[in-house]
Amino acid sequence: MKIDPDSTVDLSAQIAKAIRDAIIAGDLIVDQRLPSEAELADHFDVSRPTVREALKRLAAQSLIRTQRGATGGAFVNRLRFEDAYAQQVTTSTLLLSMNAVSFDVACEARYALERACAPLSAERRTPDHLATMRAEIHRQGQPGLTDEAFCASDVTFHRALVDGAGNKVLSYQLAGAVEAMQPLMNMITFTARSREAIVALHTDIADAVEARDATKIDATLVKLEAYTRELAHSVVTARAQKAAEKEHKTA
């Protein structure tokens, strides 16, 4: 592991890269202890604060964890699925919001991916997945539910569908696609009628999952996507109209 002290790049960034590369290459294995900060500072010929900045960078990516005390230090962290989920969701959410990704594009991606899980989910779903889906459908029908809670329940429902595929990698990849949509969905006002329609589609999906009918799941997801996009469009149209009216008033 070496760095170039003459480079214009931050020393801490270079050190972080060197260690990260070592982890990726397998030179440092899970749970292995890194040298102490003082030793690393010595090795790279930099000060301790610089080493610390590098370690914090790695910690931010969940690549290492630190422990205080006599036998403490920095350890290569086993990247867990849950940690990766969280990062994935954060990154995806910011990506959508910062790049002004349209509702349609995000929605299309999400349903395309979700439909990919349908056949596997039909085959492998357990009673547990089914129970979660039914419970969320019930929650979604409750009056007095806020729009945000409705959206959150929607996410839980769809995650149960995805998890039903029984493939952790798939669940991880989908986490971003499904959850990152939430801020976009939250812009929609769900009327009683639209909630009813969505609950009906969700029920169809749950029924199809129970019957292990992959074709039916797929078809219903297509309907749900179309309906969701329709809803979003009506929101946009309504907003545009209001803006036009306001414009008219002030003029």
Partner DNA sequence: GCCAGATTAAATGTCAGACATTAAAATGTA
Partner DNA sequence: TACATTTTAATGTCTGACATTTAATCTGGC
**Where on the phi/psi map is residue 31: left (φ > 0), alpha (ψ -120 to 50), or beta?**
left
Cα four-point dihedral sign 175, 106, 138, 119 = negative
The distance from CA 161 to its chain's CA centroid, rounded to whole angstroms, is 15
Q: Which of 237, 225, 81 is nearest to 154 (CA)?
A: 225
Residue 46 touches which of its own copies, DNA, none (Cβ within 5-8 Å per kind): DNA
By CB under 8 A, residue 235 contacts its own copies:
no
Which residue carries 């149960």 as its tokens?
Answer: 160
Binding span for its own copies by CB under 8 A among 38-46, 93-101, 134-142, 196-204:
93-101
Q: Where are the beta strands (DSSP E) in the chain?
A: 64-67, 73-76
Binding mask 158-187 for DNA (x = CB under 7 A): ------------------------------
Binding mask 66-95 for DNA (x = CB under 7 A): xxxxxxxxx---------------------
> Strands 73-76 and 64-67, how do they pair?
antiparallel
Binding mask 110-129 for its own copies (x = CB under 8 A): x-xx-xxx-xx---------
222 vs 240, beta carbon nearer its own copies = 222
Among positions 15-54, residues that touch DNA (CB under 7 A) are 34, 36-38, 45-50, 52-53
Q: Which of 190, 191, 165, 189 is nearest to 178 (CA)?
A: 165
60 vs 243, beta carbon nearer its own copies = 60
By CB under 8 A, residue 84 contacts its own copies:
yes
Cα four-point dihedral sign 183, 189, 192, 197 = negative
Enumerate binding residues for DNA (CB under 7 A).
8, 10-12, 34, 36-38, 45-50, 52-53, 55, 66-74
